[in-house]
Copies of this chain bind each other. A is one copy, B any other.
């Protein structure tokens, strides 16, 4: 029986991982959820209607987790750093959702639709890293375009949803928005899950700033696509902004291709790519929107791209608008895909 530990199971991403493993990976014979001590003992199978045999939630404990064949870590960078290498050393395959190991040379950083060759064999480190949510949806669109036309530079501005701040972030922005609209002060001062109030507002900083003023999320958007696409020289500039939307990250992207391709050709390339949903210039509207992507289960499983346009003044400059569910496409589905790949390759016995 394949035993999969989900660490941080009761969080926004962990919950989706449990549900997707239950629904979509029949080889999983047992789910073993872990979370903070406050959640210990919860019966997630009953709460969420899981059919896979599921242990009661255990408090996070390295030895207990190491009993599983696979550990999907969704509890943040601290837990990943504390447990990742020891779990791998004990023989457990680690699929890590945090940024703890992504840039390590011995850890593949994988988007199954883009660079499955990075896990052609089980990595010696025992760890596979899941990229950042905003990276995944970006490279899913960049990859077919660079295969078709080459890729020299990317400038991206993000519009990131509250669900990136977890269940607490979602609850916070919903309560504060309702309060503001009712004439209240939205819960008052600064602080909270996003560092600043997000309700009816924009917070143009995600993650800590470095000495040059670049935010951690912006570093991820620069480094991770280079590694995933194996384009170490790719020029990437990014501004990461939290917006008062509940689900699904959006990105306004300006690309510099290696050679010009007409818009219809670019749309055709994207439409021929598995897992993408192209909102063509002939569609009404010719773009995806986060609220509608979030509502539709089928939509949540795909990366949506629209408003593809070629600059009339400079045909190697291309722009587009990308929307995907950050919890599914940007985290849980990608991790599930890595696990399904490992199962398919027979890594897990």
Give A contacts to B, CB under 8 Å.
155, 157, 159, 174, 177-178, 181-182, 195-197, 199-205, 209, 212-214, 235, 237, 239, 241, 243-246, 250, 252, 254, 263, 281, 285-287, 289-292, 306-314, 317, 319, 321
Contacts and interface: CB of A to CB of B under 8 A. Distances in A.
A14 B14 CA distance: 51
Contacts of A199: 291
A281 B213 contact: yes
Given A159-B159, A177-B181, A209 B286 contact: yes
Nearest to A182: B178
Given A213-B286, A254-B155, A309-B212, A201 B245 contact: yes
A289 B196 contact: yes
A285 B205 contact: yes
A174 B177 CA distance: 10
A328 to B, nearest CB: 18
Nearest to A203: B289
A199 B291 CA distance: 9
Given A159-B159, A237-B311, 13 more contacts: A155-B155, A155-B254, A159-B202, A159-B243, A178-B181, A197-B291, A201-B292, A205-B287, A213-B307, A213-B308, A237-B319, A241-B250, A243-B243
Contacts of A250: 202, 204, 241
Question: Which of A201, A205, A311 is packed against the most chain B CB atoms within 10 Å?
Answer: A201
B289 A212 contact: no
A80 to B, nearest CB: 27
Nearest to A243: B243
Nearest to A195: B285
B239 A319 contact: yes
User: 5 closest pairs, A vs B, by CB?
Assistant: A157-B157, A213-B309, A239-B252, A201-B291, A157-B252
A307 B204 contact: yes
A267 B289 CA distance: 35
Question: Which of A204, A308, A310, A319 is packed against the most chain B CB atoms within 10 Å?
Answer: A204
26 contacts: A155-B155, A155-B254, A159-B243, A177-B177, A178-B181, A197-B291, A199-B291, A200-B245, A200-B246, A201-B245, A201-B290, A202-B245, A204-B307, A205-B286, A212-B309, A212-B310, A212-B312, A213-B281, A213-B286, A213-B307, A213-B308, A214-B309, A214-B312, A235-B313, A237-B311, A237-B317
A178 B308 CA distance: 33
A246 B177 CA distance: 12
A319 to B, nearest CB: 6
Contacts of A308: 213
A257 to B, nearest CB: 13
B204 A287 contact: yes
Contacts of A281: 209, 213
Contacts of A292: 201
Nearest to A291: B201
